Structure 1
């Protein structure tokens, strides 16, 4: 029996090695067609598993136990949700329970799954693309489902990114991919996972390369990313449908030059709110890390606070996508102006508590929701007093979604495309570029993804490539140094030897009467009375 088991093991290893040699021996296009499809299939299936786990957890925890149903966007049922809390006392208990379960799961079995997890995946790309543990993806799915499903404020992109990035890392180990290929595999895993669950294949493909750097993009990941992201989108859509999350908002477009002023103001507001999001997220996270509590209990305490906050502002509970959908239409007018103005701040606070405390979920989705609330607030303020304001809040909401997280996440192109795909609207990209540009200018080098590097030149995997090229363009005059000692030809050998000894030099250049270089004087060769040219 033992021999049979050993022979099977050796045979399995042999098959794996043959497969690895075959894949690594393929040309660029064929290799990434194979790897991209495999990673995309897992990304799509992982997104299906997680969205159903989240739906189940939400119905059980918030619905059955908490007596509350959050609204959903057009592409996911278009439910209006509960008008009020049937058991308000139960909501804080449910959010506390979700945080407790998440904390125990994460800190017992996979501490790297704590928080939003995207930074861990980005760091893996830069430093150890083949080192992501397989269990992290499983724990991330379960913990995030309990965190968000119980009402915690988080995004569903974090778990799906970690699922596909984790699989790509395992695949890189099994196939013994080269370091550059392993980095590309994990990069497209991040993008295809997020692109699948948001139904944004083009934006997801761009995101996989853009999210790694603050001021650069991983061009090597673009073509493989398209293959993986389209595959993941196809698989996910086959189970969940292909309609945009927020429906087709194609009736809204840029219609008057004066509106550019309003979109620039949206950019200012979105940039400032993005900076507040960044500061609050890490500020509260640091405070929670100093609490004299076991790490596993901190998400439970945060859950209690979020539940209490949710009683006053139910819009902060869960993902918030259904509330953004309502903010795009006439139901926005049903909310008091002060509530609309406070919603971005309340959502920032809820997300900082839920995820910053160590709970599991994403920060990408909440960032777009926060931006949507900013746009809704701007529309409510400007619509009664300013000319040429769009008749619907939808254009402001859509553009602000792009500007807020596109700037603080340093992923402007990806987020613009993703929100355009999520709303079925490309006509607002022109004013969105104004808003995103203004917001990015205000944000500067601040970044919510701490694992992002500045450019590819700072990445360990690119140092050799980018370390040689600049030297070819640098003149010698910029790096040369003047000699510490110059000996004139008519100087005596004894004087020259004394000067060399005084400075501790082994030699010096020799010049003639006109200062023209004529040779080199070595300390150990100084003989005679004169230095001869």
Structure 2
């Protein structure tokens, strides 16, 4: 009898699922534990600087220290998230085990002395480094190693923000613009859930955000429909601004890095200049609101991500100042990540736009929170789910509209240089081919550097 109730393919699928579950669980627990350690140390470092504000004046010295840490022992680890993405696309030199402890240390140093950076980059690099190590220990083949590395990204991202579903989707969406790698989706989901549970088991808690209740439909057409098309129009207009803010951030972080490398002959001078710029800006502005993560308030009335959800609590140009602070910090060699600053930029920009457009403040702060991130990373689906996980599902349609609008208006830019183009946003083959050639050239250059490093080491 040819037709069976349960064909042999079902048993093969079950066998594969069990295998990946067994492989992923220890990896995710290790990543979650390392992320918990990182978050605990990061919180201590940030609050220690709050009590010792003079540490900011040592930021240039800290930058030089970070530079020499990577120069002496970091080697290829300095590529950060892009190294992991490159390794998934085309395996080469591997993700070194040293990446995890080095990026953890240098991120703590960055925040301890007031650098404006995030934490997602550190968590993702911790995930990729640990996943690579387990892949070697388990003697996985090339295809399985790629899946494990992708799951490592999911575990790190999901654990650091407390958003496991977002972490899983982000890991498979961020690799190639316009395409999702479904083969790794289940391992990524398992990894993100286990890592998030592990972080919670270590007693680490995440910041909670809330969208205040507002009147959804204007009374003058509520008798015809329960949907607020005026609010939807305002969201679309705001989301165009969110996408342009994403583009500005990506443009500055890459452009400033190229400018400093090209015009400053001694690389160790770059972090000194970056630190001096941050100190100078803080002195000019007269407040430390744009240093570090921007979640906890250093003083009463400080502009933070949570404060942006309150009525008119964000200054009009807070989003621009944070953009400048973070792009200068990251482009001059300090470590951390981009995502939490992007949350800050989006939330404060949303706050400003809500006042200008007479829209719900907390809703627009939430939309900016996820939409600027969506545009900068080219991951609108993951960011839509992030909105649902963080703020609730009742505004899912608005989240999707904001994220996809920002995604398109951010252009083909992005904070991850190794991200490939699967399908052009415009649908024009010429654009896709041009960007593909740039990616190929970058990968060729990276492989040449890795081969040169292995030759010297051998």
Is 1:162–2:143 an aligned residue pair? no
Greater alpha carbon shift after TM alignment, 441-450 vs 350-359: 441-450
Name the structure 1 match of 2:138: 175
Is the 8 Å Cα contact of residues 77 and 98 (structure 2) preserved in structure 1? no
State the alpha-carbon separation in 2 of the partners of residues 127 and 254 from structure 1. Answer: 49
Q: Deviations over 1:61-117 (max 9, x none)?
A: x23431xxxxxxxxxxxxxxxxxxxxxxx36413324323322222221144437x2
State the alpha-carbon separation in 1 of the partners of residues 380 and 237 from structure 2. Answer: 17
Name the structure 1 match of 2:389: 421
Q: Which ranges of structure 2 fall in alignment gaps of 5 or more residues?
A: 1-13, 218-227, 297-303, 425-458
SS in 1 for 2:129: helix
Name the structure 1 match of 2:337: 362
Name the structure 1 match of 2:363: 395
Is the 8 Å Cα contact of residues 305 and 343 (structure 2) preserved in structure 1? no
Name the structure 2 match of 1:520: none
Correspondence for 1:435 among 377, 402, 423: 402
Which runs of structure 2 are paired with 1:222-241 in the superposition (5 Å)?
222-241=185-204
State the alpha-carbon separation in 2 of the partners of residues 202 and 444 from structure 1. Answer: 26
Name the structure 2 match of 1:210: 173
Name the structure 2 match of 1:290: 262
Name the structure 1 match of 2:224: none
State the alpha-carbon separation in 1 of the partners of residues 374 and 215 from structure 2. Answer: 20
How far off its partner does 1:448 sit?
Answer: 2.2
SS in 2 for 1:314: coil
Is 1:105–2:72 an aligned residue pair? no
State the alpha-carbon separation in 1 of the partners of residues 323 and 15 from structure 2. Answer: 47
Q: 1:191 to 1:305 in 2, by over 3 A?
A: same
State the alpha-carbon separation in 2 of the partners of residues 361 and 438 from structure 1. Answer: 27
Correspondence for 1:455 among 404, 422, 444: 422
Q: TM-score, normalised by structure 1?
A: 0.70
Name the structure 1 match of 2:17: 29
How far off its partner does 1:48 sit?
Answer: 0.8
Name the structure 2 match of 1:371: 346
Q: Deviations over 1:160-202 (max 9, x none)?
A: 1111111111111222212111001001101110110100011
Q: 1:258 to 1:230 in 2, by over 3 A?
A: same
Correspondence for 2:147 among 184, 209, 213: 184
Name the structure 2 match of 1:195: 158
Which runs of structure 2 are paired with 1:112-151 in the superposition (5 Å)?
112-114=76-78, 117-128=80-91, 131-151=94-114
Is the 8 Å Cα contact of residues 371 and 406 (structure 2) preserved in structure 1? yes
How far off its partner does 1:426 sit?
Answer: 2.0
Q: Which ranges of structure 1 fall in alignment gaps of 5 or more residues?
A: 1-25, 67-89, 384-388, 458-533
Q: 1:55 to 1:97 in 2, by over 3 A?
A: farther
Is the 8 Å Cα contact of residues 328 and 397 (structure 1) preserved in structure 2? yes
Q: Deviations over 1:399-458 (max 9, x none)?
A: 112211202211111122224323x3222221122222222222232222111112299x
SS in 2 for 1:306: helix
Q: 1:113 to 1:373 in 2, by over 3 A?
A: farther
State the alpha-carbon separation in 1 of the partners of residues 214 and 77 from structure 2. Answer: 39
State the alpha-carbon separation in 2 of the partners of residues 420 and 295 from structure 1. Answer: 43
Name the structure 1 match of 2:247: 275
Correspondence for 2:308 among 324, 327, 339: 327
State the alpha-carbon separation in 1 of the partners of residues 212 and 405 from structure 2. Answer: 24
State the alpha-carbon separation in 1 of the partners of residues 66 and 203 from structure 2. Answer: 26
Q: Deviations over 1:274-318 (max 9, x none)?
A: 111111111111111124353234223212211322341533111
Q: 1:403 to 1:354 in 2, by over 3 A?
A: same
Q: 1:112 to 1:363 in 2, by over 3 A?
A: farther
Is the 8 Å Cα contact of residues 247 and 375 (structure 2) preserved in structure 1? no
Is 1:314–2:277 an aligned residue pair? no
Name the structure 2 match of 1:408: 376
Is the 8 Å Cα contact of residues 281 and 348 (structure 1) preserved in structure 2? no
Name the structure 1 match of 2:326: 351
Name the structure 1 match of 2:446: none
Is the 8 Å Cα contact of residues 205 and 222 (structure 1) preserved in structure 2? yes
SS in 1 for 2:109: helix
SS in 2 for 1:288: helix
Q: Deviations over 1:9-50 (max 9, x none)?
A: xxxxxxxxxxxxxxxxx9311111012211210121111111
Is 1:246–2:208 an aligned residue pair? yes
State the alpha-carbon separation in 1 of the partners of residues 58 and 394 from structure 2. Answer: 42
SS in 1 for 2:248: helix
Is the 8 Å Cα contact of residues 130 and 173 (structure 1) preserved in structure 2? no
Q: 1:421 to 1:265 in 2, by over 3 A?
A: same
SS in 1 for 2:176: coil
Name the structure 2 match of 1:264: 236
SS in 2 for 1:154: coil
Which runs of structure 2 are paired with 1:510-521 in the superposition (5 Å)?
none
Q: 1:207 to 1:252 in 2, by over 3 A?
A: farther
